[in-house]
Structure formats: C-alpha cells, structure tokens
Structure 1
C-alpha cells in the first residue's frame, strides 16, 4: 500500500491512520500475545462509526484483507494480519451508565476495566471476563464468562442491543426487535458478521465481592477435583470458583515459602455475605478434600478482582492456548491434570476450568449462538512465558495437555479459546448444530466473507 493511498485514507478519517513508515507503527501493531508478529499494510484507529464505515469501504475498494481490533487480547492473533487494513476500535473507548435502568452503553474499543470502573460507581456490574485489559467487543462476541457467570449468566445473556457496521457499509442496530437473526448470531458467533461499534448491557447490583484463593499440594489434586466437581455445581449461584493448576506467583498474598511451587487451587468469587463470619462460613468446606497449603479470603471492590491478574500476566508475553468444554470432570481427566501439573514448563503456564453453569444454564440452547448450554466448565490450557526462546516449549506442553484431555471433553470449545491453527472442523464442533444457522446469517449479512480473519463461519452456499 503506497504512501499516497495512506494519505488518502488519513484525510478521510477523524481518527489516526498509522502506516509502516510512521513512528508509532510497531506499537500499534503489537497486541497482548507477543507470539504474534504481523505487519498490516495500514492501521485505521477509528474515532467513530463513520470512520469505521470509511475504512471498511476503503479496504473493499482496494481489494484489501480486513481485520478488526478491539482490546487486542486475541490469543490466536486474529485481530492482526500481514498486508491487511486493521480497523482499530481503541479510539472508541467510552462507557455511559444509566443507573435507573441498570444499563450501560459501551463503545466498541472499550476494555473491561472501563466498564467495571464506571458501573462500580453506581454499585453495578455485569459478568465479563477476569482481566480488566480485555476488550469488551471480542469477549462479548465469543460469549463471555467470568467471576459473575454463575450468578448472572454469560456476557451475551446480558447483551441488550448492539450497533453494527455491516460488510456493505450500512449500519444497523441488532436487538430482540431489530434484526433478531443478527442479534442471535452476535451472541456467541464471534466477529463474523460486522464491526460492533457499541454494545448495550444489563447491569446487576454488585459493588463488592468476596475474593478467596485456596491452594493445595499437588498430591491432593485427585481428592480436590473429586470434591470440587460435586461441591461447586451444587453450591448457591452467588458462589463462583475456577479451578487451576499453576506455579505459585512470587507476589502477595502468597508467602515466600511457596513461591514458584506447583500447586492446584481454586480462585473464588462470592456475591454472598462479605463480613468475616459470612466469608468463613462460605469457605469452610475447602478443608474437606485436604488441608490447604494456603487459603486467603477478603472482601474486595469488584473492579479489584477483575484487575488482580493484570500485573501478573501483562501485555508482551508469549502465549499459546487451547480449550474445550466439559460437562463433567472424569476420573481419567483427573489423572491428566495431575500429570501435566507435574511438568508445567514455565512459571506462568497454567490451566483453568471456568464454571459456565448456574445462571448460564437458564437460557435455552436455541436462544443464542452459544451452543453449549449443557457445559459445566469451559477449560483453557495456557502456555505462557516472557521469553521467545520458550515459545516452542509452551506450545508443545499446551498441545500435549489438550490432546490428553480432549477425549474427556464435549468436543467443542469456547470460541475465544480456539487457536488459529485448529481448523474448520473445530469451529463446527464449537457451534454444534448452530453452525448451519450461523452460515445462513452470514450469507445474509456478509455474503462475500469480508470478515474472515476470525474463527470463520463460511457463508451458506460459499
């Protein structure tokens, strides 16, 4: 793409246009996962939906590939492509809360921390992720789960409407009453259908929550998982807890004597009683499988629990991940977790099982594109390292772990946990019987598959 073309685009947009010759290019093309090193032709940092339409039209007229970047947290790096035009929504980062209606209108480039902060000022929140730097857009379009999922459902269960720039450059609002087929597809169908420039969410009365972290020695993983797989699904919906295998971070609240040690554990969040007596009662059962090596519980503002991993795993690390859905934790999978806990390759590599039951089971499977309403956990295996020299080691560990665990899964995965190298069959498995319906919606709204740098749904008949 020549300098003249970049200047033409620059003159057409209110937002910033960044080309390879510009000083900020390398920073603008960098994303959360440092394993992704791609060189787009131009980055259009859009200021508003008119900029989005202009950039989209420019790319189509020029016959260019197109990607969309929200928060840049795509582990697969789908928001960046070589020689493409990137529609970067980071200039559209805003939140407007209506406390009377308990809703929030959110710009397409907003990060979760922005939404959490603004809603918290009114004692409100919505379930969305576990890191404040994640983009609202990518997380929501994939379905979205987090600390509040058992209490209030998936992020898409709290989506009320979305403003979308379509492949032909037109703008529509998708909601239960307008373009309901598109609204259905947006709720879990990923970035296949257009550029969402704003979202409207339902909020819930959440200000502070109870945070707890419980860790056990590796030899207790069998007893812990046997207890956890029964305890949590039977627990009140106001209690959430994701299971993890990990090395203990060298940071508070963990005492120095366990830093770096391999452990299994649960990160808990409760919206129940937050006083000392209430927290003690809620977490009293953690001693049942085995005596914990560490247990810590405290009330914390909701934005605080959302930001607790930000410094531990910041932008710029090497990442490789794989995921799957699980409706049960089988005895065989317990053995797999124990084996791979023992050979975690780096200090940050980990495995998480996020609960997607409770309120997430309330909608019917046909209500949204999310096809796994019968799943109980959404699992992810993350190989993570600050060192590029360890990229192959973390990839090998994650793939080997996934291959050993996959036979115990439901067959598909949370779309945001799919790797770029897993292929179309995995996308189909993720959408189960919804894939053909998604393909029909794709044919209606993006028949030329303009939006294909994603976990792609091919237009029906294409």
Structure 2
C-alpha cells in the first residue's frame, strides 16, 4: 500500500480530478451508489474530469495490478460501479452534452445522466432512446442495450450509438466507429462495460416532442386480467408506434382514491412515438378497458415524462434486487403468473412489469450488434425494492422465484443484463444471453482487455 500511496502522490500533481483513498473523509460519500445494499471499499476512487484523467487512472491500476470498476451514473442494481480493493473510476464529473442539430448528433460524456441528454437535445426538438428514469447513467444503460420509451420507432439506445471514444486496458484512448475499430463499436452495442472506459458516446437524434402523449390508466388487480389481455392484443397492431409496459405496484397517496390504498394495481403506461394528438386518439381504448382506479394520462412535456418514474426509487433510499427475462410471447398463463407474483410481493415498494417489444427493435439482425437476437416479443421484470436489511432474504427470494417460475415462457433463456440480480449467476447467464455472439465477444475482449481488468460487470472472460 505504501507503493500505491507514493503513486497516488505523484499522480495527483497532474490529475485534474480527485484521488480519494479510504482515509479521506470524502471516501464514504464517494463510494455510495443508488442501491443501498451495495457496501464495497475500493483501494482508491479516481474522480475524473477528463479523458487524460481516465487514462492515468487505468495506468495506475495496471501498475498496481488492480482490477477496475467504472461509475457512470451509479444506477446499476448490482452495484458494478464499486469494487472491493480495486480502482474505482468515477466519471460523475464528466457530464457534458454537445448537440449538433443539423447533423442530428449528440456527443455525450461518459458520466452523463439521461436527464442531461434529454435537457440538451430537447432544446432542439430532438431525442435519442434512453431509459425510463432520468438519473440513470447513460453509460451503463446503453452498453447493455438500453430499453426506453422510444424503442418502438427508434430501437434501443445501442441502435443509435454511432461512435465512442474509449480508454482501453493499456491506457490508450481509441476511437470506435464504423471506420475505426468497428469490432469495438460492435461489442459496445450490448456487450456491457467489458472493453474499456467509454469517455464519450455519440448518438443519432430524432425529432421528438416537446409535447408527447403519455397514456397511463390504472386498474385494480382484483378486478381481473382482461385489461392486460386487451393491452397485449393492442400491440399486435400498434407495436411499431407505442413503447409500453404494464407495471404492477401498490396504490397509495393522494393520487389514488383512499379506499384503494394498499391494494395492488397495474398501470398500462405508454408513450406514442410521434404526434401527441395522434397518440391520444390511438391509445384512448387502453383507458376504457374497465373501471379505473385512477388515470395519469395526458399530453406532457417529453422531459417531464422522462422524470415521472424518478420518485419510485430515490438514490440511496432503498435496497434493490432486480431480475428480468425476455419472453417469446405473452400468453394468458404468463399474465396470470405475473398477477400472482405481484400479489405475493413482500414489499409494497416492489414493482414488476411486462414490457412490449417489436417495431424498430425487432428489425435489427441478431448479428448486427453484440446484443444479439431481437425476436423476443416481451420482457418480464421483477424489481424487489425494500428498506429493512432484515427483509433482504424474503425480497430477493420473491424476485428470484418469480424469475425462475417464468422460465417456461422465456426466450431461449435470455435475460436483460442490466437487470441481472447481483451477478451471482453471472457466467452462465451472460453466455446464454449473448448466444451465438458470445464467441466473437470473447475474441474482442481478449484483444482489448486480455487481463480482464474490466470485470465488474456481466463479465466476458478473455481467452486464457
């Protein structure tokens, strides 16, 4: 550790950010992330402000033979941003967004949040597919696919990633594009944080907003599954225009009738990927499928919609364990299982969701991106959210049991790797999820990170 201390002292002379060790009074705050379950202690936290800072931090890790974790937004449920005993590269000081409205491109630094991107792009009436929570980091969400409201018309976040600047495991800064290191760009489109530290992303932008139609009727679970089945059938015709999810939660607060407080409900939430007036007319039938508990539908500002779900899980307030799998189809039996699981949730804060796919997402060939096969029609997510550590076992078991019980409806065992629990079944789940693309990913991993420095992720191990 003395050698590390000496290196940190030398590095600090040219490092523009902050270098924080466990003796620093800023250490506990700097290592905290969104999921309150995560409690790891890096050997050093490098809060970077530039690409050169990132290069210096990577070279420090190599010199000390330490692994590297990367913090973008710190929102990953498994806490991959934080490592024990390694170098934690913190990009939260690198949140710049530059928009070229003529070329319809956004250059986004590696520590940016989706709120930063939406704010900058909406000034020009443009957007790129992001997440559903605005304080999610761009990097983590994008690199494992990136599922958001605009997927019906514009695909996943990775389908709009046109280039990236990456610091690789030897400290080099390289460009990944269709012209330079195209294999690396291919791997970044769904392969996770396995290949280096992305210091800049470049995204294609599309006209969107500022007003969009957000449809969100809420029904009581006790009234039966028919609205969900009708919602499912709606997407046989309109899956190329509407990004949606059916979210199970617990009613409470002034937005609900008091007699419904504490009852399980489901929201048929969706955004029409186009003109707000057209979307209001098209999605009106989803608001007429039975007696409503309440209705949050309306024309809204796009940035406001992107922040609607932020309050569900404020950073650092809850303990979280999430699992998700892709579904080949959404049968009546799977809907019944989702209802049963929602009713069994041990925490009122927990949510579970059925997500529609198709449209632009499904049109991308399996080999075109590392993400792989797009022929799944749906996704099922179980998001355990609770406060008391004494309830850890019950809530983790609920998420894992629901995930396991839905396996028979799954799509070749594939899972959304941003919602993969805490990584306890990492190797098998990762290989299965990438399918035939896994072999090529191993080759690219071996090329850019042969010593597996970047292993705090859904890890793709290099060749021995």
Tell me the CA shift for residue 91 of structure 1.
Answer: 1.1
- 1:391-430 equivalence runs, <5 A: 391-410=392-411, 411-419=413-421, 420-430=423-433
Change over 3 Å in CA distance of 1:131–1:287 after alignment to 2: closer
Q: 1:390 maps to what in 2?
A: 391
CA distance in 2, matches of 1:257, 1:279: 31
Residues 33-71 of structure 1: CA deviation (Å, up to 9, x unaligned) = 011111111100011111111110111111112111100
Tell me the CA shift for residue 394 of structure 1.
Answer: 1.3
Tell me the CA shift for residue 183 of structure 1.
Answer: 0.8
Q: 1:8 maps to what in 2?
A: 10
CA distance in 2, matches of 1:40, 1:193: 20
Change over 3 Å in CA distance of 1:279–1:191 after alignment to 2: closer
Q: 1:176 maps to what in 2?
A: 178
Q: 2:451 maps to what in 1?
A: 448
CA distance in 2, matches of 1:306, 1:49: 29
- 1:203-242 equivalence runs, <5 A: 203-207=205-209, 208-235=211-238, 237-242=240-245
Tell me the CA shift for residue 349 of structure 1.
Answer: 0.2
Tell me the CA shift for residue 96 of structure 1.
Answer: 0.3
CA contact 2:350–2:386 (8 Å) conserved in 1: yes
CA distance in 2, matches of 1:415, 1:297: 30
Secondary structure of residue in 1 paired with 2:353: strand
CA distance in 1, matches of 2:6, 2:268: 55
Change over 3 Å in CA distance of 1:283–1:448 after alignment to 2: same
Change over 3 Å in CA distance of 1:294–1:110 after alignment to 2: same
CA distance in 2, matches of 1:105, 1:380: 31
Q: 2:113 maps to what in 1?
A: 111
- Moved beyond 4 Å, runs of 4+: none
Secondary structure of residue in 1 paired with 2:216: strand
- 1:431 to 2:434 alignment: yes
Q: 1:351 maps to what in 2?
A: 352
Residues 177-198 of structure 1: CA deviation (Å, up to 9, x unaligned) = 1111111110000001111000
Tell me the CA shift for residue 127 of structure 1.
Answer: 0.8
Residues 373-421 of structure 1: CA deviation (Å, up to 9, x unaligned) = 1112232211001333322221111111111112211111111111211
CA distance in 2, matches of 1:237, 1:251: 35
Residues 240-270 of structure 1: CA deviation (Å, up to 9, x unaligned) = 2111111124254x44443332012211111
Secondary structure of residue in 2 paired with 1:283: helix
Secondary structure of residue in 2 paired with 1:456: coil
Change over 3 Å in CA distance of 1:212–1:108 after alignment to 2: same
Change over 3 Å in CA distance of 1:24–1:255 after alignment to 2: farther
Residues 76-104 of structure 1: CA deviation (Å, up to 9, x unaligned) = 11111111110111111100001111110
Secondary structure of residue in 2 paired with 1:413: strand
Of 153-162 and 442-451, deviating more is 442-451
Tell me the CA shift for residue 330 of structure 1.
Answer: 2.3
CA contact 1:221–1:334 (8 Å) conserved in 2: no
Change over 3 Å in CA distance of 1:249–1:45 after alignment to 2: farther
Of 122-131 and 410-419, deviating more is 410-419
- 1:98-247 equivalence runs, <5 A: 98-207=100-209, 208-235=211-238, 237-247=240-250
Tell me the CA shift for residue 306 of structure 1.
Answer: 0.9
CA contact 2:217–2:287 (8 Å) conserved in 1: no
Secondary structure of residue in 2 paired with 1:184: helix
CA contact 2:113–2:135 (8 Å) conserved in 1: yes
CA contact 2:195–2:454 (8 Å) conserved in 1: yes
Q: 2:75 maps to what in 1?
A: 73
- 1:270 to 2:297 alignment: no
Secondary structure of residue in 1 paired with 2:12: helix
Of 217-226 and 443-452, deviating more is 217-226
Question: What TM-score does the superposition give when structure 1 sets the normalisation length?
Answer: 0.95
